């Protein structure tokens, strides 16, 4: 299992390198594809999709495509408009097919659009910032770096459970180690790329704190829905949401912190 997980992780890093370095439409369509797959996993878990694909599910995917087009064109001008348009589209399906879908399914469809598609789009938006080709890697440094550091510290000295009901293996000591480790990685990355060490370390440490919330939130949804993993797409890791649960939360944080702390 460890070997499979390691090999899958290496392939994920290589894919991230290829698409993020390319940027532009390559990154756009990659993130849109990841978002649709992640939304599909969540829709299955939340019973928006039961057996066959539904109109409500299609509306969610159409909303994602519309939003990514708007974000690529001009996020500041069209982003909020696309988010509202996606809600109207999903509500139209709910209203005009009533009572085919329940209110819970309708709300889950829109939640999936926001939680997966909109949140992940901030990887693209960060890449499009000035110096974004360097800043975007902070998203992965603070999320995956925190996860790795927290695991190692927790295995070595972890004693106090952080959230025993949601994730019994996670410890307070591991969480502290994850935040400090992410901050250290941010400082090292700044030194390697000519960035500001203190600012990068602060951004990564703050992002690491939020990444743990994302991880635990994804675990909470799985426990509520009685599933172990969201999918089996990535060997050794599970589904897209199992691997990108922390990235989903850190991407918007890094985007706004970069603008705030670095004055972009």
Q: In terms of pLDDT, which residue wins out, 3 or 87? A: 87
Percent of the chain with pLDDT over 70: 94
| Beta pairing, strands 161-163 & 167-171 | antiparallel
Backbone phi and psi for residue 234, each to the nearest 5 degrees, phi listed first: -105, 105
Q: How much is the average pLDDT of 58-86?
A: 96
SS3 content of the chain, % helix, strand, coil (to 5): 80, 5, 15
Contact criterion met (CB below 8 Å) for 64 and 35: yes
- pTM for this entry: 0.91
- What pLDDT does residue 51 have? 77
| CA–CA dist 66, 62 (Å, integer) | 6
> Residues 21-53: pLDDT tens digits?
888 999 999 999 999 999 999 999 998 987 788
Q: Cα 59 to chain center, whole Å?
A: 21
| Nearest Cα to Cα of residue 147 among 133, 167, 164, 127 | 167
Confidence of residue 168 (pLDDT cuts 50, 70, 90): confident
Q: In terms of pLDDT, which residue wins out, 228 or 57? A: 57
Confidence of residue 234 (pLDDT cuts 50, 70, 90): low
Q: Is the pLDDT of residue 1 over 60?
A: no
Q: Among 152-161, 183-192, 200-209, where is mean pLDDT lowest? A: 152-161
């Amino acid at each position: 299992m460890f070997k499979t997980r390691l090999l899958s992780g290496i392939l994920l890093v290589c894919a991230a390198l290829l698409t993020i370095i390319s940027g532009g439409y390559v990154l756009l369509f990659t993130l849109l594809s990841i978002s649709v797959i992640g939304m599909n996993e969540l829709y299955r878990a939340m019973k928006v999709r039961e057996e066959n694909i539904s109109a409500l599910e299609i509306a969610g995917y159409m909303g994602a495509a519309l939003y990514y087009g708007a974000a690529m064109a001009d996020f500041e001008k069209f982003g909020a408009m696309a988010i509202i348009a996606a809600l109207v589209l999903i509500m139209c399906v709910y209203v005009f097919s009533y009572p085919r879908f329940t209110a819970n399914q309708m709300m889950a469809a829109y939640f999936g659009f926001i939680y997966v598609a909109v949140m992940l789009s901030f990887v693209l938006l960060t890449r499009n910032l000035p110096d974004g080709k360097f800043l975007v890697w902070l998203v992965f440094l603070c999320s995956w770096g925190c996860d790795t550091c927290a695991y190692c510290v927790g295995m070595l000295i972890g004693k106090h459970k952080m959230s025993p009901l949601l994730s019994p293996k996670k410890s307070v000591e591991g969480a502290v180690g994850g935040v400090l480790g992410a901050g250290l990685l941010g400082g090292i990355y700044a030194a390697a790329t000519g960035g500001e060490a203190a600012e990068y370390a602060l951004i990564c440490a703050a992002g690491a704190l939020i990444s743990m919330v994302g991880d635990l939130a994804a675990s909470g949804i799985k426990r509520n829905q009685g599933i172990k993993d969201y999918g089996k797409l990535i060997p050794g890791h599970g589904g897209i949401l199992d691997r990108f649960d922390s990235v989903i939360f850190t991407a918007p944080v890094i985007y706004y912190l970069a603008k705030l702390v670095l004055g972009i």
